[in-house]
Structure 1
Amino acid sequence: MKKIELKEFLDTKVNQYNNPKFIESDPIQIPHNYSLKEDIEIAGFLTATIAWGNRKSIINNAKRLMKLLDNAPFDFVINHTEPDLEKLQPFVHRTFNADDAIQFIKSLQNIYKNHNGLENVFVKYAENKSLQPSISKFKTTFFEIEHLTRTQKHISDPLKNSAAKRINMFLRWMVRNDNAGVDFGIWKNLSPTQLSCPLDVHSGNVARKLGLLNRKQNDGKALFELDTALRKLDTKDPVKYDFALFGLGVFEGF
């Protein structure tokens, strides 16, 4: 497939999947339940953190987690007391357990009270063409308070060759304004040009079949290769093609 044909094909698939219907079956529906910026970003961050495995299970457990946070995640993060954290004891999603959830709430409180919020941390360390170094610095900041070592595994580090799929997905949600009502675009100090495609099994397999990716592992090097290819198709909004790759893989078995 020639480059122009590939672009036309993928643009068609973006239009097919990047619309409000997509929200109904995707974890992004969780932050869509909120209107306050801080609620959206905290709900989005926590949902993205547990976004691996069965999508139905991800959505159900994210709803459970929001309920445990009184469906007011920002207020809970800022104002919780130790007894409040006990409410999280029943929570588990795969290897993310109650101890991890409690640690995340404490770290988020530190981010909002001492670093002016999630967006500010990513903006502070952002580079012109990539947010991958910013993700690594964010992880350091997130775990600067006393924490359980085991919880560190739930935030990936791109500088250790991770594709960091879940946090790249979260950043897409926050930064990209798609004018279709799916991605939020509430972080105005970062640009879609800096985003990286959330690379997982589905998007990786489709990308290889389309000649966008040669590397066999879904790691940081593969992400760089895929990002480079997608930026040639659209320099301003390369990660819009996540909708095409994901849709082709999950919904069409491409």
Structure 2
Amino acid sequence: MMELETLRLDVAGHIARVTLNRPQALNAMNAAFWTDMIEVFDAIDADGSVRAVVLASTGKHFTAGLDLKWAAQGNLEDQRAEVARSREHFRRKVKKMQETFNVIDRCRVPVIAVVQGGCIGGGVDLVTACDIRIGTEDCFFTIQEINVGIVADVGTLQRIPYLLPQGLVRELAYTGRRFPADEALHHGFLNSAHDGADAALDAAMAMAREIAAKSPMAIAGVKQVLNHGRGRSLEDGLEYVAVWNAAMLPGEDSQIAITAQMTRQPAQFQDLKAG
């Protein structure tokens, strides 16, 4: 059994549910969080039965972001080291923290974030690494780093320009203002907003079940092709998907899906390979 301090992992019906589980601390990201998330998503990627992930939270707020009390105790850098060595150590520390959200981005199945209340600082880094965001009508997002005098460095500034218009991205990053649900919904950052956390979670689970009913090979391919296309030319993207389908289409899933469509019966697909 996986021992986790900050998260809970449950798998049922082809859906993995990952839950931030420090509501008493507003789900702030302490030392354990950064390794717990990697451990959880390594387990998800190794589980061939998982076809979609719902990433939710507990308590009033989705997350307050970085645990500032933990960070203030010198856990991010060694001030005693010679200056260049201290800076090199800090850089490696940040790269390790980036990996906590990279594993979500790289997950071979879609990840749906469910946001209630505040999604602050590192929370924005987290949800921008997800494929889809569903929230409550009162949720909000804040690129908090500018408010504490630092540059967001674990994924927000790299991923959010693919999700929002450039002018709005810069406004949010420069001002650190709240980005409320209605505005996020208007700009497509949220896929939908619901009256309360339970309703938002229900919507996410319904979407996850719909995804899980599709060919897991095709879903993995769609995510891989979409991720590959970021920052690349149209020509490169077209070549990549042509090669992908040349390799993957001989599999059985397409024929199973076509037969299910013709007979109006639910398709039954094999799981992905474990490991």
Question: Does the alignment reach a TM-score above 0.5?
Answer: no
Provide TM-score, normalisation by structure 1.
0.28
Q: Which has the larger radius of gyration?
A: 2
Q: Which has the higher strand share?
A: 2
Q: Which has the higher helix share?
A: 1
Provide TM-score, normalisation by structure 2.
0.27
